[in-house]
């Protein structure tokens, strides 16, 4: 929690996370966020349904026209092919009638018809069979042939009676085929399948409207659930913020800011968002008589560092963690303020493991263990090394941190006294 943490804690989203942690409302905040996400998804789905419904309504006139056009024609399965066959017969009716008549006459009606000739042969053979029974088998074959040809003749007569040579029937068949082919060109080879698709799409217009109504009912219920959960969350946050204000002010006093006032100002957010219906702003008045102002407007880096440490100290007490990391917490401070920060970090270390990266001896002296981090170039590569410091090594490092390159006996003695004081 150093310079980077100071910047992130200036963000309102980070601030509300801190307050939720202190108010024990992280779970409730997660529920509010989840409901809000569901509300957004439902709203997006409704918007898409409305757009889809509009597109379908725009197509509905065309669909209704197509449906009515096909229904008016009332095509039957395979009708076009059937009409083509019928038209072929009607177009050649005279030829077909002539062929059937000639066939009937040749087979049956003429004096020397095929059937009468075969019948005569059959009679002659029957008389002869009286003298040779071997002819009976041939007579049976001739009789079968005569009967078959007679049946063919009768069939040709009946066929001729069923051939319609009416020009009006021909015109009707031609018109029907033309209409069917026109529809096939427009809608494809299967008119009934296209009609089914059109009807389905028209039916879906009503289904879309029904689904939209159902979603709107669900959305209203979700918004109600969100409003209730967000209101509960808001109450918990605002109640906890009063306690948090007092706790932070107590910490600031221990960090050499005795006159500081810490305020959490709340703004209502309507109609709400994922984080709820609240927007917090952390305000600080470092000195007596000053109006509280946002943290980002604090000019002093030292003051901001101590506010951040105070916040972390309060939250760490109520939210135990195994390890707290403070990086560059000494930014912008020194002297007595640095010692106070060191003391506060030491107090935190009584309850938690605390890691601190610092350039100030006044802070480092409070540590139970000190390490030096060096970064050098070795064989053209940057190498970072960490070394544990003990005894005189640590004293020398603290002297260097405090005095720079001018190391004096007085500086060493001062560091020794500082170490004794931090262990007291």
125 plus 235 within the same structural domain: no
Q: What is the pLDDT of residue 4?
A: 46
- pLDDT tens-digit map of 135-170: 999 999 999 999 999 999 999 999 888 887 788 888
At 323, is the pLDDT very low, low, confident or very high (cuts 50, 70, 90)? confident
Using the predicted structure, report yes or no on whether residue 221 has a pLDDT greater than 90.
yes
Using the predicted structure, report yes or no on whether residue 385 has a pLDDT greater than 70.
yes
- pLDDT tens-digit map of 343-378: 888 988 887 888 888 889 989 999 999 999 988 888
pTM of the predicted model as reported, rounded to 2 decimal places: 0.58
166 plus 310 within the same structural domain: no
Q: What is the pLDDT of residue 332?
A: 66
Distance of CA 145 to the CA centre of its chain: 80
Whether 210 is in a domain gets the answer no
287 plus 192 within the same structural domain: no
Please report, for residues 103, 210, 264, 269, 287, the alpha-carbon distance to residue 247 in angstroms, rounded to integers and kept in the order given.
120, 55, 12, 26, 17
In contact, 29 and 35? CB cutoff 8 Å = no
Helix, strand, coil fractions of the chain, as percent rounded to 5 = 70, 10, 20
- Residue 41: how many CB atoms within 10 A of its CB? 12
Query: Tokens standing for 4?
Result: 């980077």
According to DSSP, residue 109 is labeled I
Enumerate the β-bridge partners of residue 324. Answer: 354
In contact, 269 and 292? CB cutoff 8 Å = no
118 plus 176 within the same structural domain: yes
Final residue belonging to a domain, choices 163, 186, 201: 201
296 plus 374 within the same structural domain: yes
378 sits in the region (left: phi over 0; alpha: psi -120 to 50; else beta) called beta
Count the domains in the chain: 2
Please report, for residues 55, 237, 382, the alpha-carbon distance to residue 277 in angstroms, rounded to integers and kept in the order given.
36, 11, 49
In degrees and rounded to multiples of 5, residue 78 shows phi and psi of 70, 15
Whether 208 is in a domain gets the answer no
Question: What whole-number distance in Å separates Cα of residue 283 and Cα of residue 242?
Answer: 13
261 plus 409 within the same structural domain: yes
Question: What whole-number distance in Å separates Cα of residue 251 and Cα of residue 319?
Answer: 16
Question: What whole-number distance in Å separates Cα of residue 403 and Cα of residue 415?
Answer: 10
Whether 45 is in a domain gets the answer no
Please report, for residues 48, 82, 392, 396, 410, the alpha-carbon distance to residue 404 in angstroms, rounded to integers and kept in the order given.
68, 108, 17, 11, 13
- pLDDT tens-digit map of 238-283: 999 999 999 999 988 888 788 899 999 999 998 899 999 999 988 9
Radius of gyration of the chain (CA): 52
Whether 129 is in a domain gets the answer yes
Q: What is the pLDDT of residue 411?
A: 81
Using the predicted structure, report yes or no on whether residue 8 has a pLDDT greater than 70.
no
255 plus 136 within the same structural domain: no
Whether 294 is in a domain gets the answer yes
65 plus 147 within the same structural domain: yes
Whether 218 is in a domain gets the answer no
- Nearest of 308, 294, 198 to residue 248 by alpha carbon: 308
367 plus 413 within the same structural domain: yes
Final residue belonging to a domain, choices 181, 201, 221: 201
Determine how β-strand 353-357 pairs with β-strand 323-327.
Answer: parallel
Question: What whole-number distance in Å separates Cα of residue 370 and Cα of residue 388?
Answer: 6
In contact, 278 and 23? CB cutoff 8 Å = no
254 plus 401 within the same structural domain: yes
103 plus 184 within the same structural domain: yes
Query: Tokens standing for 154?
Result: 């009768």
Find the domain containing 150 and state its range: 58-201
Whether 209 is in a domain gets the answer no
- pLDDT tens-digit map of 15-70: 888 889 889 999 999 999 999 999 999 999 999 888 888 878 878 888 889 899 99
Expressed in angstroms, the distance from the first to the final Cα of the chain is 26
Whether 215 is in a domain gets the answer no
Q: What is the pLDDT of residue 321?
A: 59
Query: Tokens standing for 382?
Result: 């940057």
296 plus 185 within the same structural domain: no
List, in sequence order, every beta strand (DSSP E) within 115-274.
261-273
Using the predicted structure, report yes or no on whether residue 315 has a pLDDT greater than 80.
no
Give me the CATH number covering residue 376.
Answer: 3.40.50.300
């Amino acid at each position: 929690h150093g310079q980077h943490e100071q910047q992130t804690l200036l963000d309102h989203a980070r601030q509300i996370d801190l307050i939720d942690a202190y108010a024990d409302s992280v779970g409730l905040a997660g529920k509010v966020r989840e409901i809000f996400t569901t509300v957004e998804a439902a709203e997006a789905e409704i918007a898409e349904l409305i757009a889809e419904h509009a597109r379908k309504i725009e197509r509905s006139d065309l669909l209704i026209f197509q449906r009515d056009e096909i229904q008016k024609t009332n095509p039957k399965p395979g009708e076009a092919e059937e009409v083509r066959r019928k038209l072929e017969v009607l177009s050649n009716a005279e030829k077909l009638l002539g062929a059937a008549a000639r066939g009937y006459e040749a087979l049956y009606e003429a004096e020397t018809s095929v059937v009468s000739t075969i019948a005569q042969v059959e009679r002659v053979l029957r008389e002869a069979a009286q003298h040779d029974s071997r002819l009976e088998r041939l007579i049976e074959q001739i009789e079968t042939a005569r009967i078959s040809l007679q049946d063919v003749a009768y069939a040709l007569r009946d066929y001729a009676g069923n051939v319609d040579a009416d020009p009006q029937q021909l015109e009707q068949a031609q018109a029907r085929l033309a209409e069917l082919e026109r529809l096939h060109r427009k809608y494809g080879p299967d008119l009934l399948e296209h009609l089914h698709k059109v009807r389905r799409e028209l039916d879906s217009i009503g289904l879309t409207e029904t689904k939209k109504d159902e979603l709107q009912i669900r959305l209203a219920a979700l918004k109600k659930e969100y409003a209730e959960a967000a209101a509960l969350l808001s109450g918990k946050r605002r109640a906890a913020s009063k306690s948090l204000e007092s706790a932070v002010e107590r910490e600031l006093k221990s960090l050499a800011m005795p006159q500081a006032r810490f305020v959490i100002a709340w703004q209502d957010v309507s109609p709400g968002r994922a984080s709820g219906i609240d927007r917090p702003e952390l305000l600080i008045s470092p000195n007596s008589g000053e109006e509280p102002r946002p943290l980002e407007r604090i000019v002093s880096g030292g003051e901001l560092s101590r506010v951040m440490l105070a916040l972390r100290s309060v939250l760490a007490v109520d939210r135990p963690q195994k390890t707290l990391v403070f990086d560059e917490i000494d930014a912008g401070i020194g002297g007595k303020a640095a010692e106070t920060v060191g003391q506060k970090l030491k107090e935190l270390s009584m309850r938690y493991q605390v890691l601190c990266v610092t350039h100030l001896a006044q802070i480092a002296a409070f540590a139970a263990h000190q390490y030096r981090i060096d970064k050098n170039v070795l064989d053209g590569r940057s190498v970072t090394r960490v070394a544990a410091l003990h005894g005189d090594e640590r004293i020398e490092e603290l002297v260097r941190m405090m005095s720079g390159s001018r190391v004096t006996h007085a500086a060493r003695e001062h560091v020794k006294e500082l170490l004794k004081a931090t262990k007291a």
